[in-house]
Amino acid sequence: MLRIIKERLRQKYRTQDYPRRMPVLPARYRGLPHIERVTCGSCRACHTACPTGALTPADGIQGGPPALDMGLCTFCGACHAACPQKAITFTGEHRMASFTREGLIITPGLSPAPPPAAPEKFSLFRKSLRLRQVSAGGCNACEADCNVLTTLVFDLGRFGIDFVASPRHADGLLITGPIPENMRQALVDTLTATPEPRVVIAVGACAISGGLFRSSPLCRTGVQSLFPADLFVPGCPPNPWTILDALLSLQGRNRTRVSG
């Protein structure tokens, strides 16, 4: 017992004081994208390099850089490497979740807008939120980054948020994976078993859009091909801090998005 106490004193307090203090992320971390307004002409290098087709022509910008859909983006950085002008960069900002699918579209030259306040219908979950996590054919990357939130560094439980074993005990679903056909009915049944009012959270590019598997006839093009989602958390996989920030935003906790 004395050895345990001694070790505990040596390690000190390990839980991060989030969201009052922002985490220090590695220099290699690719967060919220930023696109400069440059003249691209006929150059399509970034489009060719993107493995998921996340880059599309930006509305009203002729011969300029594309818009980037974070719901499709795997944050691989291939577009940045391919662009001769390095117009597309990935910042160190981890706060990227959106309550709308359209909110994941990054347009050229615009600074990220502050995220909207949580819809009033979610006020019921401000002090307590129980989620059933469903891995719908995921590779276990998004699942692992959700699971790590229960460790002492993040301590998800201090916010009144927990993962539960049964959808009947849950306030909503947290879905990961590209939803292959053999998981479709199971996912629908799990949603049906979740009592209303409920929330549906799509975590990762696969759950949002199908990701790398969206062209497969055996996979869905995201959760919304089956039923509406209330919160979208982009990434492949999303950083644990991105997922935590998304869950806190659902509870209506104040946050400010910054670029850089």
Q: Is the pLDDT of residue 117 over 80?
A: no
User: What are the beta bridge partners of residue 201?
Assistant: 174, 231
With 70 as the cut, is the pLDDT of residue 84 above it?
yes
Residue 11: helix, strand or coil by DSSP? helix
Least confidently predicted of 64-73, 114-123, 206-215:
114-123
Indicate the pTM of the whole model: 0.91
Residue found by looking up tokens 């946050």 in the block? 255
CB 167 within 8 A of CB 200: no
Query: Would you say residue 180 has pLDDT above 70?
Result: yes
Predicted local distance difference test score (pLDDT) of residue 112: 62
Strand pairing report for 161-163 and 129-135: parallel
Structural domains present in the chain? 33-95+102-106 (3.30.70.20), 120-250 (3.40.50.12280)
Cα–Cα distance list, 28 to 71, 83, 93, 129, 215 (Å): 21, 18, 12, 32, 29
- pLDDT beyond 60 at 12: yes
